[in-house]
A and B are shown apart, each in its own frame.
Chain A
């Protein structure tokens, strides 16, 4: 009981408070915050009330005294889904971090993701944003570790699970989940014999943080406690480790593959 009262939960915080919690005290400075009012222009037309930050918070500051940037998605707004605005904020932050690293002023990049994936209301724009995010992670991780923190109530599903798999370090909490298709999707597509989406213990046995860590999909398993997660993030930057073959293998430049593919198809690249 005392331990429970003394725990500073990460999952119970909103995205902005999570970013603040990961950055050094007093160093939080938000970029493209709610008062910029860069919200999704597509939701209102579909009868959905938009949020002034599009559910994605980008914050500068320091981690362990080093320049840092934390991106946090808010799982409470439309399931933390990624649309054009939120996705562009993430991709832009990653690209700026790469530019910083190339100029000799490295920025520690943390993706605190809590998302069900691409926002259905902005389908293709969300898919495009995820591809940009993946591209930017691959470019940045050659220069600096890109650290994913999956410790929210939703976890990471859908398109952003692909981006997460590209990160150099993946920190998960026991309460979080990581998977490509969510339980509802699996049940709908493959039947209730394959996955009963109301069976919460089953969902965590298959996609829960502890299971994903045991399978080698995550580099560290943490409790839902801010100091523990902060310590794991600092370790990830100070002593980045190799992950399993699924995520640690060097990826060829995807553009080279595309050119080879186009030539094979006898199309001028």
Chain B
């Protein structure tokens, strides 16, 4: 069954544009990133692989520690590995700047 996870991180920087990267395909994920006016970031993850909320917390935590951007992120995941998720996040941010 699908697991829906939500996370929040503090933010100090802003991005200019929204961006859309990736695909809901095996071992991959889709990311929708939109600028947010809040001083925090909100992430919603929908994943077909349950039981990895700690791993998501770690991957997202590391990303926002390096890039404290105020964004709303939605991730549709189809079993992407942490490395793939990290690369997709970097790609989404790069496309939004």
Q: Please, which residues of chain A bring their CB within 8 A of the CB of B41?
A: none
Chain A 69-93, CB-CB to B under 8 Å as 1, else 0, gives 0000010111000000000000000
Chain A 144-186, CB-CB to B under 8 Å as 1, else 0, gives 0000000000000000000000000000000000000000000
Instruction: Select which of B1, B34, B74, B77 is within 8 A of A47 by beta carbon.
Output: B1
> Would you call A47 and B48 a contact (CB within 8 A)?
yes
CA distance A51 to B20 in the complex (A): 11
Main secondary structure of the interface of B (DSSP, over half): strand
Chain A 40-73, CB-CB to B under 8 Å as 1, else 0, gives 0000100111111001000000000000000000
Q: How far is the CB of B21 from chain A (nearest CB, A)?
A: 10
Q: Please, which residues of chain B bring their CB within 8 A of the CB of A14?
A: 23
Q: How far is the CB of B9 from chain A (nearest CB, A)?
A: 22
CB contacts under 8 Å to A, within B36-52, are 46-48
Q: How many residues of A contact B (CB 8 A)?
A: 16
> Would you call A52 and B30 a contact (CB within 8 A)?
yes
User: Is B24 in the interface zone, CB < 8 Å from A?
Assistant: yes
Given contacts A49-B47, A50-B24, contact A34 B77 (CB under 8 A): no
Chain B 1-30, CB-CB to A under 8 Å as 1, else 0, gives 110000000000000001010011100101
> Would you call A49 and B18 a contact (CB within 8 A)?
no
- Give the A-binding residues of B (Cβ under 8 A): 1-2, 18, 20, 23-25, 28, 30, 32, 34, 46-48, 74, 76-78
